[in-house]
């Protein structure tokens, strides 16, 4: 495949991922209307596990013990822990704001790359990171009527998820690059699935809610769609994008996700206040500066 074809495929994957992951925040919100955040997270991972289990069983023989350890680590950083962090965070944060905060992922991708892979900061990268983090603080403080009040600590959970995403992006690119994207996705979920199922049926009230709440099956449908679309399908596409591009380009999907997330939020009658728009602009501008080719040097 020539360079032009690779670039075209990368852009196509970016668009599909932006639409898919941008929709995930509203699906989490719909699931949380009935189900607990722990249930939403465990059910999401479980649904993705069942979808790709047949694929994993055909590919697991290709793996060596060292691969299994790496895939479990990758799955924890890129799928399992963030699923819980986002679900808990969205009990106190609008889905559109969650999508905006997720834009921090490229900044943390760069930061991890610099710290672990010996890249050096230039001043523009430092300025970009500071601007992005300033925008994050604005989002956490913004309230209605332009008020700036106490910090919303639930936003920090999404920041933690972005850190994990940044770590996983570099980890997959540099530590498991020898594996096919579908192998990485399916086998990571094969390792995570049993943990999710034990948690779902052993430590959440899912079965009780399912048998007693009239909207439980509808909420389950939203979360199963989330697991199939945003966890299984999108993760595979993302790892494919990562293999044909760079962590920086792959993580730039989060530039476009907020647009989709905000549109879904507006359609669901969420309200964004001036501080949210200021924070979003600062994050996008900061991430752009931090990820410019001139921002780091080898």
Q: pLDDT (tens digit, 9 = 90+) per residue, 9-23?
A: 888 888 899 899 999
Q: How far apart are CA 82 and CA 158, in angstroms?
A: 8
Closest CA to 14 of 230, 250, 226, 184: 250
Q: How far apart are CA 245 and CA 222, in angstroms?
A: 32
Residues near 235 by beta carbon (within 8 Å), at least 6 away in sequence: 48, 78, 79, 185
Please calculate the CA angle 52-182-19 and round it to the nearest 5 degrees: 85
Q: How far apart are CA 164 and CA 254, in angstroms?
A: 14
Using 50, 70 and 90 to split pLDDT, how confident is the model at 89? very high
What angle separates helix 65-75 from helix 181-203, to the nearest 10 degrees?
A: 60
Helical residues (DSSP H) of 204-273, grouped into ranges: 206-212, 216-226, 234-244, 247-251, 253-267
Closest CA to 67 of 202, 208, 184: 184
Q: How far apart are CA 35 and CA 245, in angstroms?
A: 38
Which pLDDT tens digit goes with each residue over 267-296? 998 887 777 778 878 877 877 776 665 555
Closest CA to 287 of 127, 129, 111: 129
Please give the residue that has the higher pLDDT: either 139 or 199.
199
Closest CA to 78 of 165, 177, 166: 165
Helical residues (DSSP H) of 60-145, grouped into ranges: 65-75, 81-89, 95-101, 105-117, 123-141
Which pLDDT tens digit goes with each residue over 241-265? 888 877 666 766 777 787 788 889 8
φ/ψ region of 146 (left if φ > 0, alpha if ψ in -120 to 50, else beta) reads left
> Residue 298 has what pLDDT?
46
Instruction: Give this prediction's pTM.
Output: 0.87
């Amino acid at each position: 495949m020539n360079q032009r074809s690779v670039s075209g495929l990368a852009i196509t994957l970016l668009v599909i991922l932006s639409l898919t992951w941008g929709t995930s925040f509203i699906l989490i919100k719909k699931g949380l209307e009935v189900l607990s955040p722990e249930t939403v997270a465990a059910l999401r991972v479980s649904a993705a596990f069942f979808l790709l289990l047949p694929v994993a069983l055909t590919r697991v023989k290709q793996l060596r013990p060292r691969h299994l350890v790496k895939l479990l680590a990758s799955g924890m950083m890129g799928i399992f822990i963030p699923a819980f962090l986002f679900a808990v965070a969205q009990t106190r944060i609008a889905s559109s704001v969650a999508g905006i905060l997720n834009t921090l992922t490229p900044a943390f991708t760069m930061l991890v790359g610099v710290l672990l892979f010996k890249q050096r900061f230039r001043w523009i990268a430092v300025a970009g990171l500071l601007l992005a983090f300033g925008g994050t603080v604005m989002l956490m403080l913004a309230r209605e009527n332009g008020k700036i009040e106490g910090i919303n600590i639930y936003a920090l959970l999404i920041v933690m998820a972005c850190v994990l995403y940044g770590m996983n992006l570099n980890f997959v690119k540099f530590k498991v690059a020898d594996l096919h994207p579908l192998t990485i996705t399916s086998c990571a979920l094969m390792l995570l699935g049993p943990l999710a199922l034990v948690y779902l049926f052993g430590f959440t009230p899912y079965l009780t809610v399912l048998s007693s709440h009239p909207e439980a099956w509808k909420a389950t449908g939203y979360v199963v769609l989330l697991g199939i679309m945003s966890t299984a399908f999108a993760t595979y596409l993302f790892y494919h994008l990562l293999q044909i591009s760079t962590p920086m380009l792959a993580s730039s999907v989060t530039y476009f996700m907020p647009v989709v997330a905000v549109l879904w939020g507006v359609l669901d009658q969420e309200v964004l206040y001036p501080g949210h728009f200021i924070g979003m602009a600062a994050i996008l501008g900061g991430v752009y500066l931090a990820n410019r080719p001139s921002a780091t040097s080898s």
